[in-house]
Amino acid sequence: MSYENELYHLAREIDATVAAVEQAAIGAARDRVTWTLPGDLGSVTVTGAGELVDVSVAVAAMKDYSASSLSRQLLLGIQRAEETAAQRYEAAIAAVRDEERLV
């Protein structure tokens, strides 16, 4: 195979790999992670891109909390959901990277 041909196929391979990683990133960003709050308090949902999209709080359970403890529970819930989403996002990209044997 000539040098030019080799370069051409290498470029094609890189294009395909970049496209695969981009697709994985798009899919992972759309995935949602829902974190259940303790004590049937509710749940928070974030996307793989880290966007907070839903906070559901059970009105009945809410009455058992003070404003500060409710704030703390929601803060922890959002943080955990975002950490989980970020890990999943990284894992999705890593899976494609490993499959394509990228460094």
Binding site for another protein (CB under 8 A): 42, 50, 52-57, 59, 62-63, 65-67, 70-71, 74-75, 78-79, 82
Query: What DSSP line would sit under the chain, residue for residue?
Result: --HHHHHHHHHHHHHHHHHHHHHHHHHHHH-EEEEEEGGGTEEEEEETT--EEEEEE-HHHHTTS-HHHHHHHHHHHHHHHHHHHHHHHHHHHHHHHHHTT--
In the bound state with another protein, the residue whose beta carbon lies nearer, of 19 and 50, is 50
**Closer of 13 and 54 to another protein (Cβ):** 54
User: Is the CB of 24 or the CB of 70 nearer to another protein?
Assistant: 70
Q: Which is nearer to another protein, 1 or 67 (CB)?
A: 67
What minimum distance in Å lies between the beta carbon of 56 and another protein? Answer: 6
| Contact yes or no for 74/37 (Cβ under 8 A) | yes
What is the smallest separation between the CB atom of 34 and another protein, expressed in angstroms?
Answer: 13
